[in-house]
Amino acid sequence: MENIRIAVLCSGGGTNLQAILDAKAAGNLPDGEIVLVVADSEAAYALERAKRQGIPAAVFDKHVYSRAAREQAILAALGEKKIGLVVLAGFMTVLSADFVKAYEGRIVNIHPALLPSFGGVGMYGLHVHEAVLAAGVKVTGATVHYVTEVCDGGPIIAQKAVEVREGDTPETLQRRVMREAEWIIYPQAIEQVCKKLKGE
Ligand code: GRF
C-alpha cells in the first residue's frame, strides 16, 4: 500500500507545518508523504517553509478568491495531487459542509486547548489562551481531532495537557502549548491516522 499523500493547509507562521516536516525528515512519519502546502494568504510564512523543503505550494488568497471559489480551487488542487489526508495547521477558514463531506474522515485539525473546552466559533489564536486565563483553569493543552461540519466538534484523536503558570500572558501560554503539546502530538497523531488509512 502506498503512503498517504498529505496536504497541509496553513494561514500563518506554520510552526506546526514545520513540526510535521521535521517529523518526516526524522523518520517519524513513515506512512505519510507531505506533497502539498496550501495557503490562503500570500503572506503566510508557511509558504517559505514549504519552499525551503522543496514542497509544492499553492496560494488561494482570501483577497482574491471568494470563500466558495477558494474552496473549489483548493478541492481541485487536492484532487490533482491525489491527496489522501488534509491536515489543517493554523488554517483560518472554517470549511463548508460540502468540503468536509468530500474528505470525510480524512481531515484533521489541531486546536490549542483541551476540547471540548475553549473551542467553537471565535476561539482561535490568542483568543483561546485569553479565555483560558480568564477562566482561571490551571491546566490547558492541545487537541488533535477529525474535522466535521461542527467547528472544533469532531472526534478526538489525541490530547496533551500543559500547565498554566502564575503570571502567564496569552503569549507565554500560547508558546508553551505549542512547544509542550502541539508540535509533539500533531506529527504523532498524523502518523497514527496515516497508518489507519493505509490499513483501510
Ligand atoms: C496553532 O496554535 C494551532 O493550534 C492553531 O493555530 C495555530 C497555528 O500556528 N490551530 P502555526 O501556524 O502552526 O505556527
Query: What are the extents of the domains in the chain?
Result: 4-199
145 - beta bridge partners? 109, 156
- Beta carbons of 58 and 78 less than 8 angstroms apart: no
The residue-averaged pLDDT of 4-17 equals 97
pLDDT, the chain, mean: 96
Residue nearest to atom 2 of ligand 1 (CA): 112
Q: How far is the CA of 1 from the centre of ligand 1 (A)?
A: 31
pLDDT at 200: 86
Q: How far is the CA of 90 from the centre of ligand 1 (A)?
A: 4
Residue nearest to atom 12 of ligand 1 (CA): 14
Is pTM beyond 0.75? Reply is yes
pLDDT at 160: 98
- Beta carbons of 70 and 40 less than 8 angstroms apart: yes
User: What is the 3-state composition of the chain as percent helix, strand, coil, each rounded to the nearest 5?
Assistant: 40, 20, 40
Per residue in 14-63, pLDDT tens?
A: 999 999 999 999 999 999 999 999 999 999 999 999 999 999 999 999 89
Given pLDDT bands bounded at 50, 70 and 90, which one contains residue 166? Answer: very high
Nearest atom (ligand 1) to Cα of 182: 4
pLDDT at 195: 98
Per residue in 65-102, pLDDT tens?
A: 999 999 999 999 999 999 999 999 999 988 999 999 99
Q: What is the spatial distance between Cα 76 and Cα 114, in angstroms, rounded to a whole number?
A: 33
CATH 3.40.50.970 fits 4-199, yes or no: no
Annotated catalytic residue within 111, 127, 129, 145: 111
Q: What is the spatial distance between Cα 83 and Cα 75, in angstroms, rounded to a whole number?
A: 10
Q: What is the spatial distance between Cα 67 and Cα 71, in angstroms, rounded to a whole number?
A: 6
Q: How far is the CA of 68 from the centre of ligand 1 (A)?
A: 23
Q: What is the spatial distance between Cα 73 and Cα 71, in angstroms, rounded to a whole number?
A: 5
Nearest atom (ligand 1) to Cα of 177: 2
- Beta carbons of 195 and 133 less than 8 angstroms apart: no
